[in-house]
Amino acid sequence: MSKDLELKIRMNNIFWALGCYTRVDVKLAEHTFKEKSPLELTDIDILGIRILPDFAINFLLADCTSNRNIIRSPIQRVFWLRGVMEFFNASHSYLCLGSNNPIQETQRVVAQKLGVTILNEDNLANLEKRIINSDAPQLQLNKFEPWLYFEHNLTVLSKDLSRLISFRKYNYWLNPKYQNLHAIISIVKKHNRFVNEKDKLHKALIFDLLTLFVLSLLQMSAYVFNINPENPEMELKSYFYGGYIEMKKRREIVDNIKKIINSQNQKLLFDDILKLDPDYLTNLFEIGFRFLNKPYDASQVLRYLQVFLFEKILYNEQNQQGMEYLESFPEITKKLTRDIIKFFCNATSLTEKLFI
């Protein structure tokens, strides 16, 4: 294993021990005028997402490198990392260096001011001792091979699924948060015929998209939790459309289209299509509201799904410790996950067998 890979998995495990849901090699990209797919600009090695029971959503980042220039003077990289933090709205990040060279105190202080902790290998080892519980179960997601296996195999899936892969890699991270709810449902629905319920990697891909969908759902619940959970329907709707003004604008556009259609005496033909709210919207709000009412249990769903993906889907329940850990999640977390799977399958016309 290369040095960078080793550092990545160690930071992944620290974030996991801190209560985060984690992702490896998250791409930062932007749309271009010419290309269909977004253009990759840079990436972040480890992204940790921690949901607190008050729906505060913390993003933690880790950049792991053995690059000599960076090791020599890490402060340049700190400034780059600060920019990436802004992009993800991250609260803290770690610059993890594959060396034991001493780090100048001034650089450490400036980095700290920017919300970045610089770690050399000694610092990293000590951080592990402080944070990781030595009795914690050994999970597949704590090792690098399963990550490599997962990420690598997704890249060789059939071309029919390439839009889904591209979405999880780029679009999800550059879209406005509220758009991802419909975007995921819509893209999965469009490609559902290519998904083979018996193919483990197809399952893993869909499961990963479902997990991203849950993150968006948690972001929606967090929005309502902080604005007015007592009037959830209105707030959920406003979030779904990107705010009241956006919702109003979209309603007006639909009304105008209706007027045009009606003037052509085609009302009956298009009446059932010309509605702003998708059919699944009420059921989506049901789940969003259940999240709001059980914040602690909801906050655990992402981690539950991550363990489920690695232990059950990718490694077929081989790891006893992993399976015991999966079983130890709160009953309500498991039930909320079942609700989401049911909803997701209904909304995307996928079979629930994919998630068994």
Partner 1 sequence: MKKINIETLKIGIRAQDIQTGLQDVQVGPLDVETKNIRLVGMAERLAIHIRGADVISDCKKLEYIASQLGIEPLALPQVLNVLEELDLVTVHKKEKKIVQVDERVPYFSDIYSLAGDYFKNSKPSEIEEATIEICDLLSTTPITEQTVKQKIGLRDKELKMVLDIGKSGKIINEYTSKKTKETIFYSPLYWIENSDTIENMYKLLKEFGADEVYNALKKIKDYQGLPLTDDLLKGNYETLQKDMKIINEAIRRGIILAPAVDSFKGRRNFAFIPSVGIAIEEKFILEKAMALLACVRYGEHFGLITKIKYPEAILDKLLSPPHRIGSHTEIRRQYAILIGRGIGKIYPDRTNHGKYYFELFPTEENLKAIKLAKSMLKIGEVLEDKGLFRNLQRMLFYPGTYEESLRTLPKLKAPAFISSETQESIQDVLNNTMDILRGA
Q: Which residues bind partner 1 (CB under 8 A)?
A: 228, 230-235, 282-283, 285-286, 289-290, 293-294, 297, 331-332, 335-336, 338-339, 342
3 state SS of 245: helix
Q: Provide the minimum distance between the beta carbon of 243 and partner 1 in the complex, in angstroms, as a whole number.
A: 15
Q: Provide the minimum distance between the beta carbon of 216 and partner 1 in the complex, in angstroms, as a whole number.
A: 19
Other beta carbons within 10 angstroms of residue 155's beta carbon come to 9
Total residues belonging to the chain: 356
Residue number, 122 or 246, with CB nearest to partner 1: 246
Round to whole Å and give the CA distance between 203 and 68. 40
Residue number, 32 or 282, with CB nearest to partner 1: 282
- Cβ-based neighbours of 222, under 8 Å, separated by 6 or more: 51, 55, 56, 57
Round to whole Å and give the CA distance between 144 and 150. 10
3 state SS of 356: coil
Q: Provide the minimum distance between the beta carbon of 119 and partner 1 in the complex, in angstroms, as a whole number.
A: 41
Q: Provide the minimum distance between the beta carbon of 220 and partner 1 in the complex, in angstroms, as a whole number.
A: 14
Residue number, 80 or 296, with CB nearest to partner 1: 296
What stretches of the chain show up as alpha helix (H) in DSSP? 3-17, 68-72, 75-88, 105-113, 121-131, 144-155, 162-166, 172-174, 179-191, 200-227, 232-240, 244-263, 267-270, 281-293, 295-299, 301-308, 320-327, 331-348
Q: Provide the minimum distance between the beta carbon of 230 and partner 1 in the complex, in angstroms, as a whole number.
A: 6
Q: Provide the minimum distance between the beta carbon of 272 and partner 1 in the complex, in angstroms, as a whole number.
A: 18
> DSSP secondary structure string, 139-166?
-GGGSHHHHHHHHHHHHTS-GGGHHHHH
Residue number, 59 or 223, with CB nearest to partner 1: 223
Residue number, 158 or 231, with CB nearest to partner 1: 231
Residue number, 235 or 311, with CB nearest to partner 1: 235
> Which two tokens mark 223?
């929005």
Q: Provide the minimum distance between the beta carbon of 337 and partner 1 in the complex, in angstroms, as a whole number.
A: 11
> Which two tokens mark 304?
């539950």
Residue number, 43 or 339, with CB nearest to partner 1: 339
